[in-house]
Amino acid sequence: MKKPVQLVVCALGALLSANAAEQPLLAIPGKAIYENKLAAAPGEPWKAAKGKWELVDGAWRGSENPEDKHGAVNRLPNKLADFVIDYECKFEGGKGTSLSINAAKGHLARISISPKLVTIQKDDGDHEGPDKAVIFARFAVDFAPGTWHKVHLEMVGDTLLGKVDELAVWGSHELFKQERMAPGFTVAGQSVDFRNFSVREAALNPDWEKVKATLPKPGEKMAAPPAPARPGAAKGGAKKPAAKAAPKTE
């Protein structure tokens, strides 16, 4: 007669664990603004600016076109107030991907993900100063190809919270209070898959200060980025003069 009791206890434990995982962080999610499982071929209202976007095995796949000399980009042309975004991604050979949020002019914030590094930051919106990028955290990871990862972004007022799987950080900046728009995916290389995308309205969690105390402070988690290959290094130890860096693209 103990088995039913054990089953009830196990089920209750699982339910409590699930509820704990869904506890609000910065935001209390509200009404759905947009939901798409990304299980049909890419199309309206999304705007694919660069790269190849296709349906593969029931998910969207983004791939960079080498001739573009620019990462693949696909954006949802929505203006956003305070919001929560969720989706999943997995690497299928791609070098990197990001969830990018724009301002009325220029970039605003992003979560950048590679198989070895997760970076959550405020973007450099003007590229000519005085605005500069601010990295809130860099986490070392080891993401194997073909494995799905959960991406979560909240913006309320002047504060952002980014989370990839269980890695989370927050950061604040005055520019986050401006109009936000055009959330979208970027892909470097070939390829990255996406599924289960949603945008919800958000309100500030009244317990945010308590939650914030449990999270890394901005700048506290700063894993070293992978060392770049030395440009022009010749075999046998001799060095060629370094070539000039190619101009950046947006």
Residue-range domain boundaries for the chain: 25-212
Sequence length of the chain is 250
* Predicted structure pTM score: 0.83
Q: Which residues, other chains included, contact 128 with Cβ-Cβ below 8 Å and sequence gap of 6+? A: none
State how far the alpha carbon of 239 is from the alpha carbons of 21, 181, 233, 242, in Å. Answer: 52, 46, 5, 8
pLDDT at residue number 232? 55
pLDDT of 12 strictly over 50: no
Q: Per the CATH hierarchy, to which homologous superfamily does domain 25-212 belong?
A: Exo-inulinase; domain 1 (2.60.120.560)
Confidence label for 21 from pLDDT (cuts 50, 70 and 90): very low
Contact 172, 48 (CB under 8 A): no
pLDDT of 3 strictly over 50: no
The overall average pLDDT reported for the chain is 87
157-171 confidence digits (pLDDT tens):
999 999 999 999 999
Nearest to 180 by CA among 202, 149, 207: 202
pLDDT of 229 strictly over 90: no
